[in-house]
Amino acid sequence: MDQETVRAFLSIPFSAEFKQSADQRIQKIKLEYKNFRFLPAENWHLTLYFFGNITEEEKNKVIQALDPVASEFNPFEVTLESIGAFPDERKPRLIWAGVGGNIDMLTQLKKRIEQVLKKMKFPVEDRPFKPHMTIARLKANVRSGSVHFPATLFQDFPCEKVDSLSLMKSTLTPQGAIYEPIHSFAFKTSSGTVSKSARF
């Protein structure tokens, strides 16, 4: 009998205020590029690792392994600093907002997570880390055309305090993915203890 699985990923969660501020900045872009499906702001996040489908047992092992990893890290700040397209602005399939701020700490967190997951036999890709938030995808059966974005779109954008990591469930529907939190991995507080407020 096949085990039930859940489609899961690890991400940095952002506050509603942070995402609303970003959404306000891209209103003109939404109006200009109708050939893209812009994701609801409440779904925006920074993915650190995508598992695909994992079993209940694997999920529990991941939680057990990463709780102590998260507690090694102090909270840090990130912001949004750029906007771009993948693979490029001439034939884009995806629009993203580039994450800035304390990228060194963010990169250390990702590497530490991957060290642990690799020992657990999860595949780890060896490619440069370019932290971003996906905000739009090209609509099906639509030609993309080139795009161009103002370089100053996220100029002076407010910072966001990152104090936890989330394990998320992704359910695919015809209307798009639905994300639900499974577990929150809390960082250290200034006193050196794990913040309980970050747990679900």
> Which residues have a catalytic role annotated?
45, 132
Let me know: does 105 contact 76? Beta carbons within 8 Å.
yes
**Alpha-carbon distance 163 to 160, whole Å?**
10
Environment class of residue 70 by beta-carbon count within 10 Å: exposed (0-12), middle (13-18) or buried (19+)?
A: buried
Dihedral angle of Cα 38, 42, 43, 49, to the nearest 10 degrees: 130
Instruction: Kindly list the distances between the CA atom of residue 115 and the CA atoms of 11, 56, 75, 182, in Å, as whole numbers in the listed order.
Output: 16, 21, 20, 22
Q: Pinpoint the alpha helices (H) of 95-200.
A: 103-119
**Alpha-carbon distance 138 to 34, whole Å?**
9
